[in-house]
Every structure is written in structure tokens, then in C-alpha cells.
């Protein structure tokens, strides 16, 4: 297994963990547990971003091009209409 594959697999695992933490946090009533899960999620997000930066630096990952103002307005319009 090469480095690029390992980085991609790790990013996928971290992203899945972040989703799981979000689900657990939203369903946790115990305030101490909720705060601990939030702390773990925050640390996980930091690790994810650092790994993302490494992948980008080594050109293992190419982020999507930046959206144009028109594209942004189109998406805003879709969500605004859905909220009505």
C-alpha cells in the first residue's frame, strides 16, 4: 500500500468518525459526556485538517475549484426556497 492510499483511507476513516461523533453528541443528554465527545470531535477535526493539508501539499488530493458568485447565489436560492 502506498502513502497516497494510506492518506486517503485515513481521511475517509476520520471523516466517518466525525459524522459518528456528531450523531453521538446530538443524542447525548449527560453534559459531561457531551463535552468530552465535543472535545474528542474537535481534536479529530484538527487531525483531519492537518492530514488534508498534507494530502494537498503532496498533491494526493485536489480540492474542488472555488465556486463563482453566481453558483453561490444559485445554491442560496435553492435552500431559501426549500425553507419557505
Rg of the chain on CA atoms, in Å: 17
Q: What is the pLDDT of residues 8-56, one digit of tens each?
A: 999 999 999 999 999 999 999 999 999 999 999 999 999 999 999 999 9
* Domain edges within the chain: 3-83
What is the percent of the chain with per-residue pLDDT over 70, rounded to a whole number? 99
Cβ burial of 74 (10 Å; 0-12, 13-18, 19+) is exposed
Model confidence at 80: pLDDT above 90: no
Amino acid at each position: 500500500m502506498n502513502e497516497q492510499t494510506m492518506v486517503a483511507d485515513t481521511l475517509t476513516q476520520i471523516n466517518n468518525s466525525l459524522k459518528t461523533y456528531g450523531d453521538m453528541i446530538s443524542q447525548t443528554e449527560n453534559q459531561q459526556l457531551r463535552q468530552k465527545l465535543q472535545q474528542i470531535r474537535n481534536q479529530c477535526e484538527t487531525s483531519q485538517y492537518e492530514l488534508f493539508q498534507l494530502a494537498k501539499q503532496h498533491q494526493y488530493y485536489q480540492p474542488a475549484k472555488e465556486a463563482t458568485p453566481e453558483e453561490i447565489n444559485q445554491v442560496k436560492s435553492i435552500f431559501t426556497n426549500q425553507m419557505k
